[in-house]
Structure 1
């Protein structure tokens, strides 16, 4: 749902361009709410700059329509550049909108359009980082972490980094999702004899699966209500196979085509996975974003960051 810089600039000067954004935000999409908040802040900043200029005394010697137009365009650019900063007015607006709509707040209110203009236009993703997340994808807000989360990430970092090199999916995204799906290793799917299935992502064994299977009781959401059900899940020989199978699913299934185009943004990636139906939990995107941000915080703070 990322808007182009041109649309952002238009929103700073033309309130009619907000109509579509308001409609999207009204659909309870966290990414749209964040973008709407940013644009409202941009409009506010532009009006503030306009008022400040009007309050400034002018000599009148150089006043002209061309100068006024140039000044207005400059204010437009300033308002866009000053909006959407962490801890700014847009965060407060987004939080208020989320509360009013009953939408779970996403960490740091990260904007989907975090790739640079050059990258988005050319389709080039940020360079791989041996397991560390792209710089543009990380949250600047500190996340509280635990010893068990650190141990989980450290234990699987090598396998995730190896699969990142093969697939292009950031290791932090895979580790965060694995952490969320397994309760950071506390609730991994087990075989009937109690041995590990090595299934970190809750991938079910569909009709086309010919490998090993683990049958367990799980929670599914039907019409927003949690229900217990028995399901068959894929089983592997080791954790690296689990990462490989997950990456294959994301990169090769048309269902997740939009998600694999959003590896530059934690929030956008999580939202696209939820839209594609990866999980039935209505709050899945918000929970997944938080888990990925937790992994990125651990990667930034630990000496084993990026070690394969």
Structure 2
């Protein structure tokens, strides 16, 4: 039986350690992935230690090339020791790469470990010593990161593996932020929507969905010149009969199906409660919205608004239905 080499106490800065990792990748891919991730974490910690050392003044009476050399040796062993317990980087690497691996070929474990090894090889590229004694070979014996230049080499070598584990985290973070924004939007406006629902008969979540569509979940709310809110979440324009406050802003209107940017005048309110109240009054007082007040399902409501000419966007109903079917609105009780 072939036994995988023990590299837990070695820092992957020499050819022998790298060869052992490659050999392990062929014999036991899963174990190699964990070991390679651990070695990468050790090298990363070693880079942090080196950066801290470089930030420390070196004009003491005990500072010399010899003390710096042994300090480097100590830091590398310390980094290797700490990486056996880990600070989480290796676990993230293994978790994210394993997630990608599960949808690929079974042999992918080898390539995932090799991806990390290629990054380690890039970090370990020997640098040319430009200063110091001509016979000083400590750089070759104990190679370290040579400031930002070799850091960029490592980043370039890691691009393929970096995308594999960073992209899913970024996507999950963006989705979480979007969901939190929509939840906060609903929680803030639900009391006003319920009040408007009592007078119009339109379900409160129908109105919340339309407010979300018109304002981008509050992110693109119409604002005054001083950036204060207009509290107009429904994009209601200020016609000749409107006697209240107004605000002018650039909006997109569809003329013969083609989008065009133009400046329009919109109604402005003193609160969201006033904005919802005016929206309810608009639907109640205008005969063309009479059938919308009878809507009992989301599709009828969305299509009714578009047919009544509430917006010029030809895909207005389609966009509104998509929001009505979104997770933020489907997973809530609006009684």
Q: Kindly name which structure, 1 or 2, has the bigger radius of gyration based on alpha carbons.
A: 2
TM-score for both structures, normalised by structure 1? 0.49
Higher relative contact order (CA 8 A, sep 6+): 1
TM-score (norm 2): 0.45
Larger proportion of helix: 2
